[in-house]
Amino acid sequence: MSVLYERNKQKGPLIGILTARNRQGEIAGNGILFIELQKKLITLNGISFIFTQDGVGETSIDGYMYFPEKNSWKRITVPFPDLVYNRIPFRKSEQDASSQLFFSLLKERNIPFFNPCFIDKYELYCLLKDHPVLKSHIPMTILANHKKRLSAFLKNGESIYLKPSQSARGKGIFRLSLEDNGQIQLAAINKSKLYRSFDLFWLEWKKELIEKDYLAQEEIRPNLYEGKRFDFRILAHAEKNGFIVTGVGIRQSQEQQITTHIPTGGKLLPYQLLQTEEHDRFIQMVVKETGKALSEQFGYFGEFSIDAGISQSGNYYIYEVNSKPMSFDENEIEERKISQLCRLFFQLTKF
């Protein structure tokens, strides 16, 4: 049974957090984030609720609101919110007709929302490869759906990364290397395999590469700290005059060198350990330019994260941009994220 939410005495914005249901029909998403946002908003005289597409009606929405004093969620019926924060966790759910229809409805009603979509890795490459400032920081990339083109790309670089264009957190990534004797070495996070020829590799992987829209990316020889590669994890948010850096962390590989992600064995290091003025300048620049480019191409981005690195020759590179940033392991960055999001909620709703 729903509780009717009245907003007559509301001094701050009503924020709708859009998520989706998983295969079991349960509401999915980052529950800790939703709770912390609600706690912070209440202190600012705002309030939030979470909802899925199936709760949207013509004039109201059925959703769920968190009540901190009872540490519980209650089903509620609310009017359309002042802003929608898109946290749909599944690409398929976001791309279906009902989601796209709802986004169109928000535009018709002049209800601000962010972020507009997940980012396809190859679309990102196409967007940034000709960017006047960012193009020098983008690794060479091709689609991995053509045998001869992929073979030539590997011969040219001798070592490449293969990535699903719509994956996250390092899932499905592997490195392909051309040995001196013409053999092909495949190295994944938990396995490796040697192929006598590129033809044999292609025979086994063709279906996977094409069905999952893999792309091939030149391998950047990374700078090392204590003998192991490291990447920058950068969190950014929009503000009135552009985009600002909310926090930066370092992720370092340990047992394997394919990826630095924590779920695949990466180690967390404080940014201050490796911080330089040059790093700071690059991070400030890449946040400003990437945020502007994304918003011009896809729609308003209120937040995003960037995985970036530095090569042994000292060049900076952008590896990935994520429109639905996962939680950072650094508590201080998470706290700033909550504050920045709430500030943005108030700014966009003009409260």
Q: Are both 227 and 303 inside the same structural domain?
A: yes
| Model pLDDT, residue 228 | 87
Mean pLDDT of the chain: 91
Q: Are both 249 and 125 inside the same structural domain?
A: yes
Domain of residue 208 covers 141-218
Strand partners, 195: 184
* Counts for the chain of helices (H) and strands (E), in that order: 8, 19
End-of-domain residue from the set 218, 242, 272: 218
* Among candidate residues 29, 56, 39, 47, the one with its CA nearest the CA of residue 83: 47
State what percent of residues in the chain have pLDDT above 90: 75
DSSP assignment, residue 77?
A: E
User: How many other CB atoms sit within 10 Å of the CB of residue 123?
Assistant: 15
| Model pLDDT, residue 182 | 86
Q: Are both 131 and 145 inside the same structural domain?
A: no
| Model pLDDT, residue 257 | 55
Q: Are both 23 and 95 inside the same structural domain?
A: yes
| Model pLDDT, residue 348 | 96
Q: Are both 270 and 209 inside the same structural domain?
A: no
Mean pLDDT, residues 43-63 taken together: 94
Tally of structural domains, the chain = 3
Mean pLDDT, residues 230-254 taken together: 92
Does residue 258 contact residue 188 with C-beta atoms inside 8 Å?
yes
Q: Are both 133 and 159 inside the same structural domain?
A: no
End-of-domain residue from the set 218, 251, 268: 218
pLDDT: is 288 or 98 the higher one? 288
Q: Are both 60 and 199 inside the same structural domain?
A: no
Q: Is the dihedral of CA 238, 240, 241, 244 positive or negative?
A: negative
Question: Which residues neighbour 16 within 8 Å (Cβ) at sequence distance 6 or greater?
Answer: 48, 49, 50, 51, 61, 63, 78, 80, 81, 83, 84, 85
DSSP assignment, residue 27?
A: B
End-of-domain residue from the set 185, 218, 251: 218
Statement: residue 296 has pLDDT above 70 = yes
Q: Are both 164 and 198 inside the same structural domain?
A: yes
The confidence band for 249, taking pLDDT boundaries of 50, 70 and 90, is very high
Residue 266: phi, psi to the nearest 5?
-70, 160
* Residue 43, domain CATH: 3.40.50
The confidence band for 6, taking pLDDT boundaries of 50, 70 and 90, is low
Question: Which residues neighbour 49 within 8 Å (Cβ) at sequence distance 6 or greater?
Answer: 5, 14, 15, 16, 17, 61, 63, 64, 65, 76, 78, 81
pLDDT tens for each residue of 55-109: 999 889 999 999 999 999 999 999 999 999 999 999 999 999 989 999 999 999 9
Helix (H, G, I), strand (E, B) or coil at 71: coil
Statement: residue 170 has pLDDT above 90 = no
pLDDT tens for each residue of 269-278: 999 999 999 9
pLDDT: is 8 or 233 the higher one? 233
Mean pLDDT, residues 114-133 taken together: 93
Mean pLDDT, residues 232-240 taken together: 95
The confidence band for 113, taking pLDDT boundaries of 50, 70 and 90, is very high
pLDDT: is 262 or 328 the higher one? 328
Statement: residue 204 has pLDDT above 90 = yes
| Model pLDDT, residue 194 | 94
Mean pLDDT, residues 22-26 taken together: 89
* Residue 132, domain CATH: 3.30.470.20
Question: Which residues neighbour 154 within 8 Å (Cβ) at sequence distance 6 or greater?
Answer: 160, 176, 178, 184, 198, 216
3-state helix, strand, coil in the chain (%, to 5): 35, 30, 35
Helix (H, G, I), strand (E, B) or coil at 117: coil
Q: Are both 231 and 103 inside the same structural domain?
A: no
Question: Which residues neighbour 93 within 8 Å (Cβ) at sequence distance 6 or greater?
Answer: 20, 21, 53, 99
| Model pLDDT, residue 62 | 95
Would you call 182 exposed, middle or buried from its count of C-beta atoms within 10 A (0-12, 13-18, 19+)?
exposed
The 3-state secondary structure of 216-231, one letter per residue: EEECCCECEECCEEEE
DSSP assignment, residue 326?
A: P
Q: Are both 203 and 254 inside the same structural domain?
A: no
Q: Are both 232 and 199 inside the same structural domain?
A: no
Q: Are both 66 and 201 inside the same structural domain?
A: no
